[in-house]
Amino acid sequence: MRLTIYTSSSDAVDERYRMAARSVAQRIGERGDELVYGGTAVGMMGVLATSVRDAGGRVTGVLPRLMADRGLADEGCHELVVTEDMAERKQLMIERADAFVALPGGFGTLEELFEVLTLKQLGYHDKPIVLLDVDGFFAPLLTMFEHLYEQQFARPEYAGLYHVASDAASLFAYLDTYDPAELPPKWF
């Protein structure tokens, strides 16, 4: 399975988030799965990629030339794809994915998560999307999603677009038993 994982490039995050990334990475390697990620050697992205390789998994990095030119590329990737811009990067990561996982992250992580959620809502894919909710990291976002449902900006059934996992074991249990839900059309 190829897992496109979105996460932070920050080195300033709490160790518990790095530990969660290592736990997911260990499972990827043990299972013989492949990581598709943002291609940098910094922050949680770097921790994730290094840990997948250390566990015997394959790593594909996809990053825009701007980041490669800044020296951020993870040269240890089994495959490193340098794109012209972020739009091409995101498209390639989506195309290569069998599943999407959002680990704790910042604006970029959320932007990529929202894109795959929206594409799934519109019917462009039916791949699993999982948020790894480390110590309630995604709780404010999930509260906002509930607000969207209550205010009828989105159907409550769209909670079926994504799954929230509390740890690596439950994340992979969900992926291994994933059955796409039949969702109503976007429009009310």
Model pTM score: 0.95
Sign of CA dihedral 95, 144, 179, 103: positive
Inside any domain, residue 188:
no
Query: Above pLDDT 90, what percent of the chain?
Result: 95
Structure tokens at 43: 């922050």
CATH assignment of the domain containing 122: 3.40.50.450
Which domain does 109 fall in, by range? 2-135+162-176
Inside any domain, residue 88:
yes
Sign of CA dihedral 69, 73, 77, 80: negative
Question: Rounded mean pLDDT of 102-117?
Answer: 97
Number of compact structural domains in the chain: 1
Average per-residue pLDDT in the chain?
96
Question: Rounded mean pLDDT of 115-130?
Answer: 96
Cα–Cα dist 97/122, whole Å: 17
Residue 187: the pLDDT is 67
Confidence of residue 188 (pLDDT cuts 50, 70, 90): low
Question: Rounded mean pLDDT of 54-83?
Answer: 97
Inside any domain, residue 107:
yes
Strand order in the sheet with 163-165: 79-83, 58-64, 34-37, 2-6, 99-102, 129-132, 163-165
Residue 183: the pLDDT is 83
Question: Rounded mean pLDDT of 107-126?
Answer: 96
Inside any domain, residue 126:
yes
Residue 185: the pLDDT is 77
| pLDDT tens string 2-61 | 999 999 999 899 999 999 999 999 999 999 999 999 999 999 999 999 999 999 999 999
Sign of CA dihedral 151, 128, 173, 138: negative
